[in-house]
Amino acid sequence: QQQVKQSPQSLIVQKGGISIINCAYENTAFDYFPWYQQFPGKGPALLIAIRPDVSEKKEGRFTISFNKSAKQFSLHIMDSQPGDSATYFCAARGSSGAGSYQLTFGKGTKLSVIP
Amino acid sequence: DAGVIQSPRHEVTEMGQEVTLRCKPISGHNSLFWYRQTMMRGLELLIYFNNNVPIDDSGMPEDRFSAKMPNASFSTLKIQPSEPRDSAVYFCASRRTSGGDEQFFGPGTRLTVL
């Protein structure tokens, strides 16, 4: 059972444009939603994360929008740069039992920012 | 501070051989995770240790896979015997259990089983 669905699988954006990646979850016990960035040959690295008590979190050019009622969250990359070209994973985690440590990952979105 | 260290970075072996992957977590982190990444299945949690004790190994695919954490600074993931379908990138990640949300991933070991 895929608990976190991520789309699109791949995304091509022109330099300076806005990249948008969407995720939907099923488990209402999730209360921590991170986004990880992975460059080729590297491990995933935390980019930005949000908890459901806020609807938006911004860090520089990266913004998470969170819709608790729709069980959806998205990553927006403003002024996309070629250096942002990477694979992005959304994830979700609960607060008790196995959910307190287990991150459930989306399948990833390969972003290519073209000059 | 050094991040999570994994070795080897690349491993090519033949079917039936034993493979051992190694991980050194970040000092002070008492949670350790082993993941497998493939195109088909994405990132899958294999096993989770807390304070060197295996807490959840429900993601370990089968008995051919085993993991140990003899002390706070070292963990191994062993596959015996290896099969071509085990080919994947294996990541180790660590986290502070108290007050830490972020999992820090190592660079991974790319395993190819011929």
Q: Which two tokens stand for residue A55?
A: 């609807």
CA gap B109, A30 in Å, rounded: 30
Residue type, B49: F
Q: Could you tell me the pLDDT band of residue A40, with boundaries at 50, 70 and 90?
A: very high
Mutate to test the interface with B, among A102, A104, A110 (most CBs of B within 10 A): A102
Residue-averaged pLDDT of chain A: 93
Q: How far apart are CA B61 and CA B54, in angstroms?
A: 15
**Which of B45, B91, B102 is the closest to A43 by Cβ?**
B91
Report whether pLDDT(A1) > 70.
no
**Tokens representing residue A1 in the block:** 């059972």
- Cα angle: A4, vertex A87, B22; to 5 degrees: 90
Query: Which residues of A fall within a CB distance of 8 Å from B88?
Result: none
Residue B12 Cα, gap to closest chain A Cα (Å) = 16
Window from A22-31, A80-89, A96-105, B76-85 with minimum mean pLDDT: A96-105
Name the band, by pLDDT with cuts 50, 70 and 90, for residue B101.
Answer: confident
pLDDT above 50 for A41:
yes
